[in-house]
Amino acid sequence: MGKITVEKVPIEGLYIITPAVYGDSRGYFTETYNQQDMIAAGLDMTFVQDNESMSSKGVLRGLHFQKQHPQGKLVRVMEGRVFDVAVDLRQNSPTFGQWFGAELSEDNHKQFYISPGFAHGFLVLSERAKFAYKCTDFYHPEDEGGLAWNDPDIGIIWPELTGAYNGTPAGTGYQLLDGTPLNLSEKDTKWTGFKKSFIFLEKLKNY
């Protein structure tokens, strides 16, 4: 029990992790984290904090990062379906400024490991989603930074979302295909774009 498969993606430092799931007519069992299996796969990070959130359909959280205390995150969805995104902020990386996204759901059981040095965000595609993530550093509220989720310099393609960029990260005019309006926190409507955020990214160049 507990075996995992680890898939590297086109951006170094990002991994899709799929645990073994054992099911029958009663339900299923899976190990959501096993340190020995992770180390065997070459992932030897240490987690210090676990977080959980619940969000309704159309909620978009992100893109968030910490400036001086970058976090590695192992994220998964316990209920529902989300599109999860990481943006490379490491200035010495050949993929600096590029993004990668993956659908995580209660059905596919996939997890997404995001190394330190990335911004992170997700969009809820189901009626609601329960989201959990393990972090390699503690959350420092005063250290939080962010990027505009719809910055054209990054160019994230959010699935099932319609709307035209109007020059701001505000959600006005955006909705899911079924008409659900995009739902952002006030904070997430005020982040600047990628080019204007370079001053905050200096710490991340060593990751």
> What phi-psi label fits residue 97: left (phi over 0), alpha (psi between -120 and 50 degrees) or beta?
left
End-to-end CA gap in the chain: 33
Exposed, middle or buried: residue 17 (CB in 10 Å: 0-12, 13-18, 19+)?
buried
Helices (H) and strands (E) in the chain, counts: 1, 15
- Nearest to residue 154, comparing CAs of 119, 206, 187? 119
- Nearest to residue 77, comparing CAs of 95, 52, 57? 52
Residue 88 · residue 11 · CB < 8 Å: yes
Q: Which residues are catalytic?
A: 64, 133
Residue 119 · residue 147 · CB < 8 Å: yes
Element (H, E) at 136: none
